[in-house]
Amino acid sequence: MTDHHHHNQQQPMTKNLHESASSPSTRQTVRFLTAAMIGLSLLVLSGLTLTGTVIGLIVATPLMVLFSPVLVPAVITIGLLAAGFLFSGGCGVAAATALAWIYRYVTGKHPMGADKVDYARMMISEKAKELGHYAQTQTHEAHTK
């Protein structure tokens, strides 16, 4: 029975706390404080990052000046090597893709764009026939004169 009596005493207090916590002004205050804390944390983090960057530059500048005759050509060489490898790899991938497409086209699997190739082949063949007929008539006329 004391548990039941104790439970009844706690319920109004809990209800009061819940009602006050869910009031619009309290929720708005909590949201504002949360946003302010996040903003301040980001501002402090930004300041620390800037300070660390400046200190790092101060420490690294003499080293960069001393080693620049070695570092600059090394960076240029590494950049050119990386660009060359990327370009050759890209050309290899393009060649492999083209060969795979040609293989599928020749074996009759009708890859994407095959209808355009067929149309272009037909148009070239028609133009070649027209040119052949034109050349024949021109040659025949030249021989008869």
pLDDT score, position 19? 52
Burial of 114 (0-12, 13-18, 19+ CB in 10 A): middle
pTM: 0.44
> What is the phi-psi region of residue 97: left when phi exceeds 0, alpha when psi lies from -120 to 50, beta otherwise?
alpha
* CB 138 within 8 Å of CB 128: no
pLDDT score, position 11? 52
Domain spans, the chain: 2-112, 113-145
The pLDDT mean for the chain works out to 84
Rounded Cα distance, 145 and 135, in Å: 16
Q: What is the pLDDT of residues 89-132, one digit of tens each?
A: 999 999 999 999 999 988 989 899 999 989 999 999 999 999 99
* CB 42 within 8 Å of CB 48: no
Residue 63 neighbours by CB under 8 Å, 6+ apart: none
Question: Cα–Cα–Cα angle for 126, 101, 105, nearest 5°?
Answer: 50
What is the sign, positive or negative, of the torsion defined by CA atoms of 6, 8, 13, 14? positive
| pLDDT tier for residue 81 given thresholds of 50, 70 and 90 | very high
Rounded Cα distance, 97 and 117, in Å: 16
When pLDDT is averaged across residues 73-100 and rounded to a whole number, the result is 94
